[in-house]
């Protein structure tokens, strides 16, 4: 590819010409008609051409990305329904403090800026929540899953040490076999790392669309302050080159060996150095921003309309924001860059604080930046300049610059917004929270034992899920397959179909004496499991939607068995149906 040097004088000449054109257009049509011209001005100001790829060979200036307008085609999130107020956990863990308890609560509420967190339910794990986020992203994109050529999944709560989240989700949402698959490390940065990797694959011409996922069911030791923020959630971006919601203007990394937080092999929960994370977080967030500005000499942090950082708590982003208001910004030796990084208190209030989703979800780890970006995109307008800075302990940061495109308006309403999920919540008691955490961290039983609502349904349309039941070993296979994975299993295999949308016929709470009844036995008798609902929500005739859930596991080291469960219709109820391309079910396979 040819290399073109762009002088500062030429940039200014281009910018002046575009400015004159904008003034003429504003005079003739009004300022509300020139958003696209303003975007053109910004592109020239920052030295990024749309027709000609510009490369800067001087290392001190960095490298500008080769542009073919790659960006987000669709985005989606998932936040579990179960929530618990952080104060409930603090009161339980710190009850021995007596009169000091209120001071601790005050510090958590107003110091750490933690309010409540999302908790994965008994049938949820990193794969199931990633699946719903991915389905939402594909729905918004309006493409067939078969067009996706690469899937990445960033997480630090993998259900399998060997066995990928990305391949499971690809199979669950209908992506076929002609696809690149990767689970990514990088702690909380790994979701956005996937965005960068897939962006590069699309620019290379190797794939047309890619799916980047960040998903976590965060872990923490009981009583560790980390427990107060450890939440659950997933975000997913479909990337491509057409019908963009937001283009990726550039990505700048910053990383160093800084082990402020880690989890050893076979350890159920992470360890950390506490306050050391403040320095690690600030230095890498600021370092990534500085590297982005170094590549774009005419760009300032205040030029962005909206900014969001990774959110382990509300405290760390705000601590970093405070550093960016100082006369001398820490960790930045170049005064010309430091000057362009400065923010005002007004910038922080308007551009950053509205996207502190950690207040609603807790720290969703690899999903954190993706969820806050999705929340931002839910409100953004074409032409808006957006900066998302992710962070992962170890330590790694990416500063990703987006420009919102016209396609966002057409695609609004195809999938639930972040706030739709935030507001869809059920407050749980501390005892229920303990049960969920105990099951999550031990997982030593032969079968999954949980309170269950079960019943019968009838189809309301002609669309179905297909799964297989192996009667030789009582395994559930979704998607369906022809033979059992155990070569010596005598079978037989029975294929069963369950509707994507259904109407409730009857429901009952499984009696305690039948708690040993497996979900395999229920499916075999054409009964189904109901989730995300109380008995009062399940009246005969209520409309239901099928969702992918963890239905069982084989002890602590056997297979995890996924399949179909039902909940009252949520996504169709909040989304506007805009006739996106139909989702194609993957050929018979097992993830």
Closest CA to 318 of 353, 354, 367: 353
Tell me how far apart the alpha carbons of residues 354 and 309 are, in angstroms, rounded to a whole number.
Answer: 12
Active site residue 156: yes
- Helices and strands (H, E) in the chain, number of each type: 18, 22
181: number of Cβ within 10 Å: 17
Asked if 151 and 166 touch (Cβ cutoff 8 Å), the reply is yes
Asked if 154 and 115 touch (Cβ cutoff 8 Å), the reply is no
Bridge partner residues of 253 (DSSP): 398
Active site residue 188: yes
Q: What is the DSSP letter of 559?
A: -
Element (H, E) at 45: helix 35-45
Task: Give the helix ranges, DSSP H, for 236-380.
Answer: 276-295, 315-323, 335-341, 345-347, 358-361, 368-377
Contacts of 537 (CB under 8 A, 6+ apart): 568
Active site residue 310: yes
Q: At what angle do helices 430-442 and 86-93 cross, to 10 degrees?
A: 80
Bridge pairing between strands 385-392 and 306-309: parallel
Closest CA to 194 of 226, 158, 224, 155: 155
Sheet holding 426-427, edge to edge: 116-118, 82-85, 426-427
Query: Residue 504: what are its φ and ψ, rounded to 5°?
Result: -75, 130
Asked if 236 and 122 touch (Cβ cutoff 8 Å), the reply is no
Choosing from 122, 168, 272, 310, the catalytic residue is 310
Choosing from 67, 94, 188, 403, the catalytic residue is 188
User: CA 466, 470, 475 angle in degrees (round to 5)?
Assistant: 90
Choosing from 94, 156, 201, 227, the catalytic residue is 156
- Catalytic residue numbers read 156, 188, 310
């Amino acid at each position: 590819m040819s290399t073109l040097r762009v002088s500062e004088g030429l940039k200014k000449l281009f910018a002046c010409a575009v400015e004159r054109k904008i003034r003429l257009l504003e005079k003739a049509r009004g300022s509300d008609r020139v958003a696209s011209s303003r975007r053109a001005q910004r592109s020239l100001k920052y030295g990024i051409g749309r027709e000609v790829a510009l490369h800067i060979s001087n290392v001190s200036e960095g490298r500008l990305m080769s542009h073919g307008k790659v960006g987000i085609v669709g985005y989606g999130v998932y936040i579990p329904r179960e929530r618990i107020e952080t104060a409930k956990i603090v009161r339980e863990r710190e009850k021995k403090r007596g009169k000091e308890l209120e001071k601790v609560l005050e510090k958590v509420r107003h110091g750490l800026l933690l309010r409540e967190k999302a908790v994965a339910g008994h049938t949820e794990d990193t794969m199931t929540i990633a699946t719903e986020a991915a389905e939402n992203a594909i729905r918004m994109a309006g493409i067939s899953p078969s067009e996706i050529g690469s899937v990445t999944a960033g997480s630090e709560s993998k259900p399998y040490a060997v066995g990928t989240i990305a391949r499971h989700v690809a199979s669950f949402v209908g992506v076929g076999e002609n696809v690149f698959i990767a689970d990514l490390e990088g702690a909380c940065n790994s979701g956005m790392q996937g965005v960068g990797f897939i962006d590069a694959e699309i620019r290379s011409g190797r794939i047309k669309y890619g799916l980047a996922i960040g998903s976590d069911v965060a872990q923490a030791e009981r009583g560790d302050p980390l427990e107060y923020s450890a939440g659950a959630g997933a975000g997913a971006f479909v990337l491509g080159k057409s019908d963009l919601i937001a283009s990726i203007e550039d990505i700048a990394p910053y990383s160093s060996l800084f082990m402020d937080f880690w989890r050893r092999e076979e350890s159920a929960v992470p360890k950390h150095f506490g306050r050391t994370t403040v320095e690690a977080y600030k230095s890498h967030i600021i370092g990534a921003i500085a590297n982005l500005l170094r590549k774009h000499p005419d760009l300032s942090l205040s030029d962005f309309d909206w900014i969001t950082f990774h959110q382990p708590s509300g405290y760390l982003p705000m601590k970093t924001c405070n550093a960016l208001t100082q006369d001398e910004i820490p960790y930045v030796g170049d005064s010309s860059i430091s000057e362009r990084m400065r923010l005002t208190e007004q910038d922080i209030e308007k551009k950053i604080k509205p996207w502190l989703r950690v207040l609603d979800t807790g720290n969703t780890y690899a999903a954190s930046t993706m969820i806050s970006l999705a929340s931002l995109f839910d409100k953004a307008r074409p032409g808006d300049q957006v900066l998302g800075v992710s962070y992962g302990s170890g330590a790694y940061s990416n500063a990703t610059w987006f420009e919102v495109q016209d396609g966002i308006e057409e695609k609004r309403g195809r999938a639930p917004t972040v706030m739709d999920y935030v507001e869809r919540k059920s407050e749980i008691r501390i005892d229920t929270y303990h049960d969920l955490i105990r099951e999550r961290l031990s997982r030593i039983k032969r079968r999954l034992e949980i309170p269950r609502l079960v019943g019968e349904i009838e189809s309301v349309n002609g669309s179905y899920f297909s799964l297989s039941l192996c009667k030789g070993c009582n395994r559930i296979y979704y998607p369906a397959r022809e033979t059992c994975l155990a070569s010596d299993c005598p079978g037989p295999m029975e294929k069963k179909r369950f509707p994507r949308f259904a109407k409730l016929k009857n429901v009952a709470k499984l009696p305690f004496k039948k708690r040993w009844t497996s979900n395999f036995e229920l499916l075999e008798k054409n009964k189904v499991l109901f989730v995300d609902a109380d008995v009062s929500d399940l009246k005969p005739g209520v409309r239901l939607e099928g969702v992918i859930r963890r239905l069982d596991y084989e002890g602590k080291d056997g297979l995890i068995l996924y399949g179909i469960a039902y909940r009252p219709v949520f996504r169709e109820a909040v989304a506007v149906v805009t006739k996106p391309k139909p989702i194609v079910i993957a050929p018979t396979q097992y993830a």
